[in-house]
Structure formats: structure tokens, C-alpha cells
Structure 1
């Protein structure tokens, strides 16, 4: 069975774009996955960015994609101790809907309690996404520092 994945990740600067592109490629290589929805690739260019129509289309499209997802992959590399608020919202929404969340965090350091506790798996190497078993979503707990 192939799973549908929603990829939650910031993509506002070169470092974040590089990271999310590497995650997208790793997910594409995983044989247990079918469709991968990456909001970065669904920007509703038919509307003026950040205009009223764009806001509605982006929000509704992302919520629909999360609702259709079997699993979420969330990139939570912080800037200081601040995670991207959009990613945090997507993570919380998925957790509330009992959708497994696979966290990817390349940077070292503590994890916020509200992400460290409900996550299904904690991954620090993007390449591990190529072989992660999304059919069974094995648990990989976060055992580091929580804030």
C-alpha cells in the first residue's frame, strides 16, 4: 500500500528551500509512498501572492491536502527556538486528526514539548526518509532536550 504524504516545511530562504528540496527528493525515492503534497509546489500563481484570493486558495488547499494525507512529514529546523508558525500549525492539525507525523530536524538542539511528544518518528538525516517504512510508520522517539 502506498501512502499519501503532506510535507510541512518552511521555504522562505535559501537554506530552507535547499532542505525542503532534499526532503522532496528523498520522499520521491521511497517505495512505500504514492503522492507527496508539498505546499511549496502549490502556490496558486493564478492569484496575486498574499492577496485575498491567494490566501483562501492556499489555506483551503493545504487543509484539504492534510485531510487527505495518510502521514505528515514535518521539517522543524528552528531559527533559535522559533519554529515556522505555518509548519507548527500544520503539525498540530495533523496531530489532532491522528495523522502520524514524521519529524525531520537536521539542526541539533532542543525540541518544543508540543512537537516532541506527539511525533511518531524523529529523523535527523534526510536520507533516512528514502527507506523509512511509511506503511507501518515505526516509532522513533525523540530523546533529547525538550523546552
Structure 2
């Protein structure tokens, strides 16, 4: 069973709906022991946007990245671009030698710094619900890169 860190943007209703579809798929996946979604941690004891809030969010996310076996990264953000925080999380996971599963629903490309090192690519939440995180089948990105 696998512990998953879910990286992805949640700045508007479309992004939140996508994130919730991915969370539901991970919840339904029998090979996922647990997953951490930063979206679910609000850190209400800190003023949103303050330096203290930023530090506790960063440290919490970094610790959860360390604890995860695999990172699932949602790269749909703004046209072909990935959210900068998500890009950082994906790079940090890669530096730890963790496998990265990229989730991309929208058409368009992916930057080579994400498309080349990623382990596999999933385009629909129902595919993520049945992906075997124990075996971790690999795939290559078949869309445009830049």
C-alpha cells in the first residue's frame, strides 16, 4: 500500500473541482494506503498570508513530501503552464528519488522538466482510481512538450 502526496493548484472553482475528483479517485483506489492533500490543511491558527503561516505551510508540505512514497501532480493550471508551487513540489519529489504520477485533463503541452522525469501520465480521474500504485506501471507523455 502506498502513501501519496497530492500536489496541485486550488485557486479557483475549476481547479478545486479537479482536485476533488483526484482526491475521490485516490480515496477509491485500493492500492493507496493514504494520501495527503495540502488543500485540506487550513492552519487556522495563523493569519493567512503572514510569514508565520507561510513557514508552517512550507514545513508541513515538505514533511508530507518526505513521508510520501509517490507524488501525484496535477499540472492543469493556466493554459500549458503548471502552478509554480506544484512545479516546486514535483521537483522536490524528484530530487528525493520519488516516482511522480502526472495528472492532466486538459489538452496542451507540458514543460520538458516535468514530462521527461515523470514516471507515468494519467488523463482521467477514473484511470487514477484503478492505477496500481504497488506495481507502478510507467508511461511516456505523448503530447506536446516545450
Q: How does 1:82-101 map to 2 (within 5 A)?
A: 82-101=81-100
What corresponds to 2:69 in structure 1? 70
Q: Deviations over 1:100-136 (max 9, x none)?
A: 0000000011111000000011011111111100012
Q: CA deviation at 1:80?
A: 2.3
Find out whether 1:28 has 2:32 as its counterpart.
no
RMSD: 0.8
Name 1:44's counterpart in structure 2.
43
Q: Distance in 2 between matches of 1:10 and 1:53?
A: 21
Asked if the contact 2:90/2:100 (under 8 Å) is kept, the reply is yes
> Which residue number corresponds to residue 131 of structure 1?
130
Query: SS where residue 114 of structure 1 aligns?
Result: helix
The residue aligned with 2:18 is: 19
Measure, in 1, the Cα distance between the counterparts of 2:88 and 2:144.
Answer: 22
Runs of 4+ in structure 1 displaced over 3 angstroms?
none
TM-score relative to the length of structure 2: 0.97
Residue-by-residue CA offset, 1:43-100 (whole Å, 9 max, x unaligned): 2111111112211110000000000100000000131232100000000000111100
How many Å separate the matches in 1 of 2:83 and 2:145?
17
TM-score by length of 1: 0.97
**Secondary structure of 2:52's aligned partner:** helix
* Count of aligned pairs between the two proteins: 146
